[in-house]
Amino acid sequence: MCGIVGYIGKKEAVTVLLEGLHHLEYRGYDSAGLCVLPSAHSRKRRASVVRSVGKVDALVDLVSKKNVSGFVGIAHTRWATHGRPSVANAHPHSVGNIHVVHNGIIENYQSLREKLIERGCRFRSDTDSEVVAHLIALERVKHDFETSVYRALSKIRGAYALVIVCDDDPDKMIAVKNSSPLVVGVGRDDFIIASDVSAIVQRTKNVLYLNDGEVIVLSRDGEYSVCSLNRLVKRRKPQVIDWSPEQAQKGGYEHFMFKEIFEQPHAVVDALRGRVVISDGLVRLGGLRSVEDRLCQIKRIVIVSCGTSYHAGLVGKYMIEEYAGVSVEVEFASEFRYRKPLVDKHMAVIVISQSGETADTLAAVREAKNKGALTLGIVNAVGSAIARETDAGVYNHAGPEIGVASTKAFTSQLSILVLLTVLLGRGRDMSFVMGQKILTELERIPHLITSILKREKELRVIARAYVKNDAMFFLGRKYHYPIALEGALKIKEIAYVNAQGYASGEMKHGPIALIEDGFPCVFLAPKDSVYEKTLSGMEEVRARGGRIFAVSTVGAKEVSSIADDVFFIPKTLEMLTPLLLVVPLQIFSYHVGVMRGLDVDQPRNLAKSVTVE
């Protein structure tokens, strides 16, 4: 993994490919490369392949020094899985007249590699991807380009997105999707293939979404065909992307992450739009209408997700259990898929994924469906694999999130979980009055977030006092424990601080041994049902010389007498406070990262969409 771009048409491919790679930089990568085929009428018979380590700009510099021209090409940004970052390990991989870019993991690559070496193949890289190029090249000796690809695909196992071109069939491009994202943009007389619509929307808003196990063949004359791996023809029509190129630009902000933090009021509004009926205290979720009766009968819910989405799921557990009376478990997708979960037709499995392509989460969907559970998705990417494979679902409508560390996608996920709580609760024993109260306050949240964002400079000043700390604790109770986990994750991701999130009641059961003079602890201390308990935890840290940064609600005077630094947020319902508490933590982490001189949009070693195990 990480980013694929392909172009076939009547324009200079280099321009489109490099533009696409720049739009995919947010996904995280360590090297980049491209391959451009000469036209069928060119005197040049071999493709131009250029690869480099580092940023896309380094590749741009190399390409500018070479005579690279043509109307068909593939490009890639690599995030290392097999083999260290190097030119040899960068994509595309070329064997003979075959050129391949690949995202994902070829699970049986080692056995394939050994067999290929026995047949005389010489490997130039340490990657699993190169075996694909060798397999196709061997088949190409006896078969046409398409048949060679299909025969090679029958030998590989794993999760992959592949785009392949061939020197001696220069007006054709073949792509295949299997548990790794791939989207085809359809222009007037050309096609763009990419891992993400952000690399396509600048050129066209018409896209084809491939299902797993599908192959698409594109030609320069504007024709395309979609088939299964056993070559059965599939019918597929383009869909229209519902967001604009401007949404994927920085818009005057220094970083995408900062911009997306400030987009959160709009993200919440968009998550609620058309879904709230305050007069009746009800929620209308069109994506769940087909399963609403079944949903109201379920006896148990398991929320499955990864990373930040997992933290959203933990908040959802507190909401749903308290207000809808349904038992909820929250599991990491990577664990759920490998143990033997107790799943049956009387329960619902809700998967949360910003990209809608997370490999572990997608596997969890399939496991749950196989066992008869109702599967629901909360995703931001329209047409993504999870959106297509779940029984029903709800879109975030948060727009593109470019920063690797999630911000607005998280708050939109929380908003949808509130809506789901009300839907479930009103279908059981939640009163009209309670439903109306929650929804009325939920519609105030965008305004309350805006009031926090207007005081961003206060958090910048506080952050300066913690820039030199390489370790810290984030602590919260009840609804705010998941936000403590999320706050710790944010500062780990973008400032490389060894931060740990804890339920504050657990401090005395071990972590308090680390508290010494100056050790920083971030306490989430809103004035709620566990306020006094949180104050006690703060006193324990203060007594041992720890430094305290507290986020509390307006009017909580006791906090100021204990903490070294305090940031106050507006009051709201306890169940909605996480939507406000997380915003100061995002801003705090952002400023610590920036003050440390780090790339907060593209943190080291991280990828936006994790499509491998």
CA distance 607 to 360: 15
Say if residue 269 is in the same domain as residue 404. yes
Residue 613 lies in a domain: no
Quote the tokens at residue 526.
């809103």
Residue 610 lies in a domain: no
Say if residue 498 is in the same domain as residue 562. yes
Say if residue 237 is in the same domain as residue 260. no
CB 579 within 8 A of CB 411: yes
Q: Look up the CATH number of the domain holding residue 97.
A: 3.60.20.10
Q: What is the CB neighbour count within 10 angstroms for residue 609? A: 25
CA distance 446 to 278: 16
Say if residue 457 is in the same domain as residue 365. no
Instruction: List, in order, residues 6 or more apart from 223 with CB less than 8 Å away.
Output: none
Say if residue 572 is in the same domain as residue 468. yes
Closest Cα partner for 446 from 262, 257, 264?
264
Element of type H or E holding 66: none
- At residue 334, the pLDDT reads 82
Quote the tokens at residue 32.
């980049």
> Among all residues, which ones are annotated catalytic?
2, 608
Residue 109 lies in a domain: yes
Q: Where are the beta strands (DSSP E) in 44-171?
A: 48-53, 72-78, 93-95, 98-106, 158-166
Say if residue 257 is in the same domain as residue 236. no
- Dihedral of alpha carbons 579, 585, 588, 590, sign: negative
Say if residue 474 is in the same domain as residue 420. no
* HSE-CB of 490 using CA atoms within 13 angstroms: 30
CA distance 62 to 58: 6
Q: Which domain holds residue 218?
A: 2-241
Say if residue 43 is in the same domain as residue 127. yes
Instruction: Mark which of 410, 426, 443 sits at the end of a domain.
Output: 443
Say if residue 173 is in the same domain as residue 274. no
Residue 611 lies in a domain: no
Instruction: List, in order, residues 6 or more apart from 498 with CB less than 8 Å away.
Output: 470, 471, 472, 492
Instruction: Mark which of 186, 209, 241 sits at the end of a domain.
Output: 241
Q: What digits encode the pLDDT tens for the residues 119-149? A: 999 999 988 899 999 999 999 999 999 999 9
Quote the tokens at residue 58.
């380094």
CB 322 within 8 A of CB 417: no
CB 402 within 8 A of CB 198: yes
Instruction: Mark which of 206, 241, 276 sits at the end of a domain.
Output: 241
Q: Which residue ranges of the chain lie beneath pLDDT 50?
A: 611-612
CB 7 within 8 A of CB 65: no
Say if residue 137 is in the same domain as residue 281. no
Q: Look up the CATH number of the domain holding residue 352.
A: 3.40.50.10490
- At residue 342, the pLDDT reads 78
| Paired residues of 521 in beta bridges | 473, 548
- At residue 562, the pLDDT reads 94
